[in-house]
Structure 1
Amino acid sequence: MVTMVPVLLSLPLLLGPVVPQEAQAGCYSLTYLYTGLSRPREGYPWLQGTVFLNDQAFFRYDSASGKAEPLGPWRHIQRMKDWEKESQLQKFREGIFLETLQDIMAYYNDSNGSHTLQERLGCELQNNGSSGAFWKSAYDGKDFIEFNKEIPAWVPLDPAAWNTKKKWEAEEVYLQRAKAYLEEECPRILQGYLNYSRHILDRQDPPSVAVTRHTTTGENTTLTCQAYDFYPRGIGLHWTRDGEVQESESGGDVLPSGGGTYLSSVVLEVSSQDRDLYSCQVEHSALAQPLSVPWDSKQETGARSSGETQSQ
């Protein structure tokens, strides 16, 4: 049986935001995310973990390979980390994770069922020098247990979690180590990663922007403005009509677009007879000033085709 002692260096969650939604300049986070399945599909590992620096996937681990492997630009940074040693640590955490999942299933007397255990832990470094931390888990999509470092104590959020709390608080040293990990070791590890990663996390990729008009039979025309390939995540995107901001019909969500960048779009419905000047206004930290991409319906009087695009 795996002992609990360094559960302190252990596990993470998928309830709430997976990673901080927006990191201000000079703010950084290290987040460990694990998902364990009691009955995974054939060919899939029962445990998968991904580690993030801010919103960028840094390395992954799964129970099938037993290896921690760098992702994205970190694949090309030499001597940043001892990946063999990290693989051994992740393998140890895997044992703790499995034991926890089995204990929960035993409590509910459902050893043959299909269940999911998710955990999220990590820390943040703020631009004022302060740090924050989080450590929480969920079972079958519901909050299970979380660590309160101020007490310190494990806080049960599910009936089965009382047994987990008792096990993880069997000795006072376990609580103190968990608290020390969140408040001291995790920020120290994050600070070490930043020595190799600030140029990645602080980069500024300006958005490319395309505006598209789609007209169908009827009286309305759909104008779509899409910004893509930008980083960091935060962006302001809206339509204006003769300089006045319009309320969009849909869109505005910011989604990953691959390669560590993002995309977003806003949609506006207008009358097909409207001849006013519409523009897509874009604000992003990588732009020296807001960008305006116009769609001038006066240039296309009588057009009835779909998929017409203007871009910048």
Structure 2
Amino acid sequence: MVALQQALMIRPLTPLGTHSLRFFYTGSYGVMTFPEFVGVVMVDEVEVIYCDSSIGGAEPKQDWMRKLIKDDPEHMDWYSNECHTSHNTFKTTTEILMQSFNQTGGVHIYQRMFGCEWDDETAEVNGYDQYGYDGEDFIEFDLKTETWIAPTPQAVTTKHKWDNDRAGLFYIKNYLTQVCPEWLKKYVNYGRSSLLRTALPSVSLLQKTPSSPVSCHATGFYPDRAMMFWRKDGEELDEDVDQGEILPNHDGTFQMSVDLKSPAPGDWERYECVFQLSGVKEDIIKRLDKAGIRTNRGQAGITVIRAASALFLFASCITGVFIWRRRKGEEQMFYS
């Protein structure tokens, strides 16, 4: 299981044809320049709702979400209430966690990442629910076994308590497999003109020095549901290849790279880089050709782009998210 903080900083690759609804929220303690609570809702890696404890409410971030709210005004009221309620819950929970870890001060971060994915071709649905504390996994829900996994001793008591709450387990499973996918489908329907658009990338071959790996870099594509790989003699390569993560650009598009260890001089014509984008039938193929490789300054420039994108992604992810609770009058999902 990957640490939650790492999972937030490096966006997971979404399979082709799959839509995602992800909730991130972050509670902080001892960080004077950052709100105590920040929440973000993302659809297909696009921010659609934002809130934090300093503004005291929720804000739509996309035109289609504003239209949805206009059609259903109670939708935003619900989100604003969630922001306020989650702030209070996170504040109390952080204090409990500090006691469990024998901490009396310092800087601490409590996070939750949960949501669902829906394949619009196969109708397959998948859900997940993870908690993290100070950059380490704290507890995670196993949807298959309907039990909680506790990787740290401090989470064992919480695991037993939540495992014994059959009503709570039923609610979480129902939310991840039924409610969340229905909301996701609704969001995709409202935002289809934006979310389902396609933008093809520019693809370049980059190499820092003659002995460095050759990097195939694609930038400016949308959506993020894309794949890129190297082929030799028409066969996809698994060895001598370093697959990079998909990173966001500041204009809402994405970029990614896949590196190939420098091949033997006589073999170059046998290699090609292939880019595939969800919703686009034809692949973009870039054949390995020395004359088309950008070196030194081009590679340095792309390094700066990657670094800037990583910082942008981190800034977005550290904002945290909303908790989808039971309706008013019912028990909350986080049990202290």
Q: Structure 2-normalised TM-score?
A: 0.67
Correspondent of 1:88 among 75, 81, 87: 81
Residue 127 (structure 2) pairs with residue 133 (structure 1): yes
Cα separation, 2, equivalents of 1:79 and 1:56: 16
Cα separation, 2, equivalents of 1:15 and 1:308: 31
Matches within 5 A, 1:228-267: 228-231=219-222, 232-238=224-230, 252-258=243-249, 259-265=251-257, 266=259
Contact 1:206-1:230 within 8 A present in 2 as well: yes
> Following TM superposition, by how much is the alpha carbon of 1:243 offset from its aligned partner in structure 2, in angstroms?
9.3
Q: Structure 1 residues 165 and 91, CA, compared in 2 at 3 Å: closer, same or farther?
A: farther
Give the greater-gyration-radius structure (CA). Answer: 1
RMSD between aligned alpha carbons?
4.0
Correspondent of 2:66 among 45, 61, 78: 78
Contact 2:4-2:137 within 8 A present in 1 as well: no
Cα separation, 2, equivalents of 1:153 and 1:75: 39
Contact 1:278-1:296 within 8 A present in 2 as well: no
Cα separation, 1, equivalents of 2:124 and 2:281: 29
State the match for 1:38 in structure 2. 29
String of CA shifts for 1:12-35, please: whole Å, max 9, x gaps: x8357445412322x222111122
Q: Higher strand share goes to which structure?
A: 1
Residue 217 (structure 2) pairs with residue 226 (structure 1): yes
Alignment coverage as a number of residue pairs: 283
String of CA shifts for 1:233-280, please: whole Å, max 9, x gaps: 42325487x999999987641432413322234466589x99x76986
> Following TM superposition, by how much is the alpha carbon of 1:306 offset from its aligned partner in structure 2, in angstroms?
5.7
SS across alignment from 1:78: helix
State the match for 2:203 in structure 1. 209
Correspondent of 1:123 among 116, 119, 142: 116
Cα separation, 2, equivalents of 1:64 and 1:205: 36
Contact 1:117-1:140 within 8 A present in 2 as well: yes
The percentage of counterpart residues that share the same residue type is 25
Cα separation, 2, equivalents of 1:143 and 1:50: 20
- Greater shift in the superposed pair: 123-132 or 162-171: 162-171
Q: Structure 1 residues 116 and 203, CA, compared in 2 at 3 Å: closer, same or farther?
A: same
Cα separation, 2, equivalents of 1:174 and 1:248: 45
String of CA shifts for 1:177-209, please: whole Å, max 9, x gaps: 333322332222222212212333333221112
Cα separation, 1, equivalents of 2:207 and 2:65: 44
Q: Structure 1 residues 53 and 108, CA, compared in 2 at 3 Å: closer, same or farther?
A: same
SS across alignment from 1:24: coil
Correspondent of 1:24 among 16, 21, 24: 16
> Following TM superposition, by how much is the alpha carbon of 1:101 offset from its aligned partner in structure 2, in angstroms?
1.5
State the match for 1:48 in structure 2. 38
Q: Higher helix share goes to which structure?
A: 2
- Greater shift in the superposed pair: 126-135 or 31-40: 126-135
Unaligned stretches of 5+ in structure 2? 70-74, 300-336
Cα separation, 1, equivalents of 2:284 and 2:27: 44
Contact 1:28-1:124 within 8 A present in 2 as well: yes
> Following TM superposition, by how much is the alpha carbon of 1:105 offset from its aligned partner in structure 2, in angstroms?
0.9
Q: Structure 1-normalised TM-score?
A: 0.71
Contact 1:239-1:268 within 8 A present in 2 as well: no
Contact 2:201-2:218 within 8 A present in 1 as well: yes
The one-letter code of the counterpart of 2:286 is S
Cα separation, 2, equivalents of 1:147 and 1:163: 15
Unaligned stretches of 5+ in structure 1? 1-12
Question: Larger RCO: Structure 1 or Structure 2 (Cα < 8 Å, ≥ 6 residues apart)?
Answer: 2
